[in-house]
Amino acid sequence: MKQKRNVLYLFSITLVAAIGGLLFGYDTAVISGAEKSIEAYYIKPLGLGSFAHGATISSALIGCIIGGLISGYFASKFGRKHSLIAAAVLFFLTALGSAYPEFLFFTKGEPSIALLLTFNLYRIMGGIGVGLASAIVPMYIGEIAPANVRGRLVSFNQFMIIFGMLVVYFVNWGIANGQTVEWINDIGWRYMLASGAIPALLFGILLLFVPETPRYLALKNQDDKALAILTKINGSKEAKSILSEIKQTVTIKISSETLFAYGKLVIVVGILLSVFQQFVGINVALYYAPRIFESMGAAKDASMLQTIVMGLINVVFTVIAILTVDKWGRKPLLIIGSIGMAIGMFGVAGLAFSNIIGMSTLLFIIVYTASFMMSWGPICWVLISEIFPNKIRGQAVAIAVAAQWAANYLISSTYPMMMEFSGGLTYGFYGLMSVLSAIFVWKFVPETKGKTLEQMETIWQKSNKSSRKVV
């Protein structure tokens, strides 16, 4: 008896995996509500400057780089599923530890350098979890999803990232609403950071009930298990054919220089996709959103409310990407998004040079973030999950994701100093990066719409042979 594809099963395991995306968004955005309180609690009393402030707010990104780098080893050694469980444990520990870093010393104590370093240590620990999740969640979904809906399902991970950010904006606003600034700076920021322990615990429990990916199982010669999962997802008619394709790619003998077995271009494209996603400046808008709105004349509560409005816009335009990525393709959406981001950032830069701050600034920020969320936000992750051949996917994704977090750290930690120098030049730089990202996609990024992961391998093999002939 032939078994039909189980759509509910596919959606269920995608949803569980995408909770890792929600935690990614939650953990990276929770700092936006606590950012000024951390400055008031640690930075100012210790007499530290803008560099220490930027480095502290961005410290989790150091962990993200580490998590990205080790994700390939974890994914290959322990599997995609168990790597995500490790990420869930790290999310849980960082939520409680960063909220109460005094716990390590078993004393409340006053703000000190030692306490600040402990806070940063916990944030770095959480960053490792984010780095693991950011690499492995798209990899997991990409390896499970059928080719015709893969873009949509991997884009759903970005929806969950943005949804996680939106949830934490509401949580932060709910904690701060009606409270004094003194209370928020002393206690409120702790509640904001600790709140992440709840979704982290849920993620860890639900992961116990999802399967390993069939492509990882095939790599480990567990073909029966791989076939069983493929049958549930694709139906028995297609499952054997897909497994046969997978086995052909994972058993091909390639050179000892495994990472560059398909040429250097595929690795360079993966890295530059990651770097451009960050150099356009999106995480500045996410990490420093309340401060940006306060600089436009909004009070603290109003700035957090405007951040929630931005979060809703992010969700709406991410949904647009989900609905169009498998229809329009990856390249058109990326190029359109780059143009929109350039318009938004050059608009903000022009207003900054003219010392004009108001609704016009907000409108350009909305154009910028909406353009990012319908393009580079989800589709960069889709491409990273798709473009690398099976044999090198773990290593290559790790390098691309580590590059992304390194670029993220550079952009986020330098933002306060850049703004002190010139707001107009800062936003103008992000606009220029948006233009360059469009040119890069047009020239170098292959279209992956409708192609299986195994077909992408053939594309890079042909590209590598062509480049060798030219040489």
Structure confidence at residue 471 (pLDDT): 38
Who's near 297: CB < 8 A, 6+ residues apart? Answer: 357, 358
pLDDT at residue 396 tops 70: yes
**What's the CA gap between 235 and 216, in Å, rounded?**
19
In angstroms, the CA 58 to CA 77 distance is: 29
Averaged pLDDT for residues 62-87? 91
What are the pLDDT digits (tens) for 419-443? 777 878 888 999 999 999 999 999 9
pLDDT over 70 (residue 279): yes
What are 431's two structure tokens?
A: 């606009």
Please name the helix (run of DSSP H) or strand (run of DSSP E) that holds residue 184, with its range, or none.
none
Range 95-111 average pLDDT = 75
- Provide the b/e sequence for 123-136 (b: ≥16 CB within 10 Å): bbbbbbbbbbbbbb
Q: What does the pLDDT read at residue 319?
A: 86
Q: Which fold has domain 8-210+252-470?
A: Growth Hormone; Chain: A; (1.20.1250)
Among residues of the chain, what percentage have pLDDT more than 70?
88
DSSP 5: P
Q: What spatial distance separates the first Cα and last Cα of the chain, rounded to whole Å?
A: 54
What gap in Å lies between CA 375 and CA 292, rounded to an integer?
Answer: 23
Percent of all residues in the chain with a pLDDT value above 90, rounded to a whole number:
28
Q: Where is pLDDT greater, at 357 or 157? A: 157
Across 39-48, 293-302, 379-388, 453-462, least confident range:
293-302
pLDDT digits (tens, 9 = 90+) for 12-27: 999 999 999 999 889 8
Q: Give the model's pLDDT for residue 49.
A: 77
What average pLDDT does the segment 92-105 reach? 85
Element (H, E) at 195: none
Instruction: Identify the pLDDT of residue 45.
Output: 84
DSSP secondary structure, 134-202, as one string:
HHHHHHHHHHHS-GGGHHHHHHHHHHHHHHHHHHHHHHHHHHHTT--HHHIIIIIHHHHHHTTHHHHHH
Span 363-393, pLDDT tens digits? 888 899 899 989 998 889 888 888 888 778 8
Q: 40 falls in which pLDDT band (50, 70, 90)?
A: confident
Instruction: Determine the Cα–Cα distance for residues 255 and 121; give it in Å rounded to an integer.
Output: 40
Q: Convert the pLDDT of each residue in 219-278 to its tens digit.
A: 888 888 988 998 888 888 788 888 887 777 665 544 434 777 677 888 999 999 999 999
Any idea which of 147-151, 211-215, 231-235, 286-290 has the lowest mean pLDDT?
286-290
Nearest Cα residue to 41 out of 138, 99, 111: 111
Domain ranges of the chain: 8-210+252-470
Confidence of residue 305 (pLDDT cuts 50, 70, 90): low
Q: What is the pLDDT of residue 253?
A: 45
- Higher-pLDDT residue of 71, 53: 71
